[in-house]
Amino acid sequence: MSLPAPSADALAASHALQHRIAADIAQHEGAISFASFMEQALYAPDLGYYSGGAAKLGKDGDFTTAPEMSPLFGAAVAHVAAAIIAQSAPRILEFGAGTGKLARDILTELAALGIAVESYAIVELSGELRARQQEALRDFPQVTWLDGFPERFDGVIVGNEVLDAMPVDLVTKTADGWRALDVTIADGRFAHVPTALTTAQGEQLARQIPDANELPEGYVTELHGTACGFMGSVGALLAGGRGAAILLDYGFPGHEFYHPDRSTGTLMCHYRHHAHDDPFYLPGLQDITAHVDFTAAALAAQDAGADVLAYMNQAAFLLAAGIGDLLLRTDPADSQRYLPQANAVHKLLSPAEMGELFKVLIVGKDVALPPALADADRAHRL
Does residue 63 carry a pLDDT above 90? no
The residue-averaged pLDDT of 330-352 equals 96
Domain covering 66-166+238-253+291-377 in this structure, CATH number: 3.40.50.12710
The strand pair at 243-252 and 91-95 is best described as unpaired
Residue 161 φ then ψ, to 5° = 55, 50
Q: Note the pLDDT tens digit of each residue in 108-147.
A: 999 999 999 999 999 998 888 899 999 999 999 999 999 9
State the chain's mean pLDDT as an integer.
94
**Where are the domains positioned within the chain?**
66-166+238-253+291-377
**Among positive and negative, which fits the CA dihedral 371, 377, 380, 382?**
negative
Helices 71-85 + 335-349 axis angle, to 10 = 70
Q: What is the pLDDT of residue 241?
A: 92
Does residue 2 carry a pLDDT above 80? no
Q: Note the pLDDT tens digit of each residue in 213-251.
A: 999 999 999 999 999 999 999 999 999 999 999 999 999
